Homo-oligomer: A and B are copies of this chain.
Amino acid sequence: MVQRRANMRRIPDSTIRRLPAYLRVLESQKEERTTSVALGERTGYSSEQVRKDLAYFGAFGTRGVGYDVSQLGQQIRHILGLDRSVTAVLVGVGHLGTALLRYTQEGVRDVQFAAALDNNPQVIGGAIGSIVVEDIKHLESVVRERKIRLAVLTVPAAAAESVALRLAEAGVGAILNFAPVPILTDQDRVLVQNLDLTLEMQAMAYFVTEHDDLHPPVS
Contacts and interface: CB of A to CB of B under 8 A. Distances in A.
A199 B24 contact: yes
Contacts of A38: none
A206 B102 contact: no
Interface string A69-99: 0000001001111101010100000111011
22 contacts: A17-B203, A23-B202, A42-B182, A42-B184, A44-B182, A57-B215, A60-B218, A60-B219, A78-B214, A79-B211, A80-B205, A80-B206, A81-B206, A81-B210, A86-B208, A86-B209, A95-B98, A95-B99, A95-B102, A96-B96, A100-B197, A100-B198
> Which of A98, A150, A191, A205 gathers most chain B CB within 10 Å?
A205
Which 5 A-B pairs rank lowest in CB-CB distance, beginning with the nearest?
Answer: A58-B217, A81-B209, A95-B99, A20-B202, A173-B208
Interface in A179-195: 180, 182, 184, 191, 193-195
Interface residues of A, number: 76
Interface of A: 2-4, 10, 16-17, 19-21, 23-24, 41-44, 57-58, 60, 75, 78-82, 84, 86, 88, 94-96, 98-100, 102-104, 107, 109-111, 149-150, 152, 172-174, 176, 180, 182, 184, 191, 193-211, 214-219
